[in-house]
Amino acid sequence: MGRNRRKNKAFTLVEVLVVIVLLALIASVYVPRMFRGMGEQKRKMARTKMANIESAIITFQLDCGRYPDESLGLEELIVPPADLEEKWKGPYLKKSELLDTWENPYIYIEEGEINPGSFDLISYGADGVEGGEEDDADVYND
């Protein structure tokens, strides 16, 4: 009698396989939905970091009387340019703040095409190249 009780308490191989298959099906439906939202969050974070860079560029412009030179790029926010050492009151940002959420450098265009009369900041998204959709979509400053 004691032997039968122990045998009934264990799971069979078929029961274990059924549970594994069901878990795999559930995961295949819900896991992609979770990761789809992560791309949008990274784009929002990239825009937030852009706002910080915009603020630093404006502060640089107020201190130095000009926007950073496009040939030197955003590095002028970290290291003083030779011609502005007396006016420069930086560093205005940390070097790590010049990278987007995908660890790619932001693109700085002094004479903005998207923002005429101002400057453009661009993040090329997850793929790091111009164009793309969804996670690879480009992010621009407003």
DSSP state, residue 140: E
3-state secondary structure of 71: coil
Residue 115 included in any domain: yes
Residue 5 included in any domain: no
What pLDDT is stored for residue 29 in this prediction? 85
Residue 10 included in any domain: no
Domain housing 72? 39-140
Query: Which helix H or strand E contains 121, and what residues bound it?
Result: strand 120-123
pTM across the whole model: 0.70
Burial 18-27, CB ≥16 within 10 A → b, else e: eeeeeeeeee
Is the pLDDT confidence value at 16 over 70? Answer: yes
State mean pLDDT over 14-43.
Answer: 84
Is the pLDDT confidence value at 139 over 90? Answer: no
Q: What's the distance, CA 131 to chain centroid?
A: 16
Residue 22 included in any domain: no
pLDDT by residue (tens digit) across 52-88? Answer: 999 999 999 999 999 998 888 899 999 998 888 899 9
Q: Assign residue 82 the CATH number of its domain.
A: 3.30.700.10
Residue 133 included in any domain: yes
Residue 34 included in any domain: no
CA-to-CA separations, 2 to 12, 14, 54, 133, in angstroms, rounded: 19, 24, 76, 64
Per the structure, how many domains does the chain have? 1
Is the pLDDT confidence value at 3 over 60? Answer: no
Residue 68 included in any domain: yes
Residue 55 included in any domain: yes
Is the pLDDT confidence value at 7 over 60? Answer: no
Instruction: For Cα atoms 135, 123, 32, give the angle at the middle one, nearest 5 degrees.
Output: 15
Portion of the chain with pLDDT greater than 70, in percent = 92
